[in-house]
Amino acid sequence: MLEIQEKLSSDGYQELRKAAGSAELHITEALDRDDVIGFIAYSYGADKTVVYDYDDGGDMMLCDGLVRSVMLKSTLKGIKHMLFELPDDGKYESLRKLRFISGDSRQCPDVESFMNRCQHCKEKKE
C-alpha cells in the first residue's frame, strides 16, 4: 500500500541539504510496504516553497502525488508560490505534462488557484 510521509530527518539526503543552503530541508517519501520508492525534497520560505529534487521512479502518477502533497502543505501555510530548482532538466518535462508548470517556466505562481482548479475537475466528475 502506498503511503506518502514526511521524513523527520534529512539522513541519506546530504547532497540535497547542500542545495537547500541555509533553508530548512524537508523530505517527503513515498513508501510501499516500508520500501522507499520515491521522494520530494523542498523548503518553505516566507513567500514560496522551493523544490530541490524529486524521484518518482519514472511513474508520473507518483510525481503527481508527491508534488500535490507539497502543494497542499504549502497552501495550508499560506504560501502561494512554488519554485522548482531541479538538478536534472529532464524532470521538468513531467512537471509540464502534469501542468504544474508551463513553457520554460520553473515556477507555479499560484498554488492555491492550481489546487482549486483540481477541485473544480473533481466536482465535474461527480
Give me the domains of the chain, ranges plus CATH numbers: 2-125 (3.40.630.30)
Compute the average pLDDT of residues 75-84. 94
C-alpha–C-alpha distance, residues 94 and 60, integer Å: 7
Q: What pTM did the predictor assign?
A: 0.88
Residue 85: what pLDDT?
96
Q: Quote the cell numbers at residue 45.
A: 520560505
C-alpha–C-alpha distance, residues 39 and 36, integer Å: 8
Residue 111: what pLDDT?
84
Does 40 score more than 90 pLDDT? yes
β pairing state of 82-84 and 107-108: antiparallel
Half-sphere exposure of 82 (CA within 13 A, CB side): 29
Half-sphere exposure of 125 (CA within 13 A, CB side): 6
